[in-house]
Structures are given as structure tokens and as C-alpha cells.
Amino acid sequence: MDVDAQVDVDLVQAARGGEVAAVGLLIERHGAGMRAVAVSLLGPGADVEDVLQDAALIALRRVAEVRDPEAVGAWLRMVVRNCCRALLRQRRAVGSVGEWVPVPDDAAHPERWLERNAMRDWVWEAVERLSPTLRLPLVLRHFSEGVTSYDDIARACGVPVGTVRSRLSQARARLCEELAGIASAAHGDASGLAEASRRQAGETLAAAEQGRFEAFVAERWTADVDLYVGAQRLGGRELLVRGMEGDLADGVRQRPVNIVASRL
């Protein structure tokens, strides 16, 4: 892996861990390519800036979905391309803005679900700090379905389209300030949660190795805990105990690999 690719990988990993500033660094690194895509599809003008701002917020919300961190540049350009196509459809009045980056089915990967929702928590915390005047157009534009075009937002807010553009620009700038303000605190909170979870996992596995797993689980876990695979319930605490004891009897040992924290 070359140096540039390694930097991208490190920044994506940091962003997944809640470092909001890492998303900004990724956009700065790949900004020229993102702008080139926008200009090639829309031509020069104010729409390019709007699309790049939209793409930056989408990247912030969905960076945890990047499957290949080495290809994050291509992913960011795809985000811009989709935003441009949505704007072009809006111009032609064919339909409302709605073509976003495809959301992968991560039902089998709970750590990705947690990463996305942890990031969502921090974004919403910043959004909630905006004034109502700035918050409403931003939420409609980036977090709603069906009311996302400038015309739709103008009708919903009862203001001219030009005012919508102005408020969105102010809201995005203010949101960046709020995100920067809470990034360290939010990340610190997540780090604390992750460390507590990592410590608990270590204590649980140590108890199992010492033959105290059943007693440990009875002490630390609620009696009505359920184990699921997808939507199918497999059993309760007794199944967990039997499974661990069976693994140990067969010589299987477990270790924590990845700990992801969320306030959910």
C-alpha cells in the first residue's frame, strides 16, 4: 500500500471512530477531484458549490459505509456524481431529489450498524444546536425524504428560493462549527464507552478461562437476555453458557477483535 492510500485508510478509520475532523481532511485531500466531477456535469456556477456542500454532509453521515478505505476518493466522487444527477433531474422536473449513495445491507455486520448510528448521534447533536430558522431547511434538505428540492423547501418554510439557499449556506457553515466544537467531546465519550466495553469483554473471557463463566454471566447479565441471529431468536442465557462451555471443552478460545461504541 502506498503512502497516500495509507493516509486515506487511517483517515477513514478515524472518521469511523467519531473523528469528525477526519472527514474534513478526506474532503480536502480529494476536493479537486470532487470539484472536477461537479464542473464536468453541471458547468461552472453556484450549483457546483451547493453540490459540493451537499456531498460533504452526505460523506459525514455515511463515511462508515465505505467498504474499501483505499478507494475513499472514488467513493467521494461517486457521492458528488449522484448529487449532480439529482440536481439535473430536479432541473428537468422529472422528480424530486432522491438518488443517494446506495446503502449496503449490513444486517449481518452489527459493528457497521453501530458505527453509523454513533456518527449519526454526533451529527444530530450538532444539528440540534442550530437555530430553528437554520435547522428546518437543513433537516429538510439532508435528513428528510420527499421535501428536498429548493422549491419544496421554500414552500415548506414559506420563504423564497433565494432565502432557502442563503439559509442552507449559513446552516452548513454553522453546522461545521458545531461539529468541530463537539468532535473532541463526542469522541471522548465514545472512547470511554469503547474502553468500558473492551474491559468488560476481557473480564468475561477471563472468567470463562477460569471456569467461572456461568457465575459471571449470572452476576453481570440480566436473566432475560436473548440471543438472535437476524430476526431469529436462538435462546437465552443458558444457550450462551452452553455454547461457551462447549467451545472451551473443544479447545476453542475467543478474543475481542473490534469494539465499537454508540450512545444508542
pLDDT, tens digit (0-9, with 9 covering 90-100), for 6-32: 888 888 888 877 677 778 788 888 888
In DSSP notation, 111-145 reads HHHHHHHHHHHHHHHHHTTS-HHHHHHHHHHHH-S
Percentage of the chain beyond pLDDT 90 is 4
181 Cβ contact partners less than 8 Å away, ≥ 6 residues apart: 126
Average pLDDT over residues 232-256: 83
Average pLDDT over residues 179-192: 56
Distance CA 251, CA 162 (A): 68
- For 234, phi and psi rounded to 5 degrees? -95, -30
Asked if residue 103 has pLDDT above 70, the reply is no
More confident residue, 233 or 30: 30
Whole-number average pLDDT of the chain: 76
pLDDT at res. 104: 43
Q: Give pLDDT tens digits for 129-146.
A: 888 888 888 888 877 666
Asked if 41 and 126 count as a contact pair (C-beta separation under 8 A), the reply is no
Cell for 227? 440471543
Band (pLDDT 50/70/90 cuts) for residue 189 is low
Q: Average the pLDDT over each of 69-73, 98-102, 151-155 and give the range with the smallest value.
A: 98-102
Q: Give pLDDT tens digits for 209-221.
A: 898 988 888 887 7
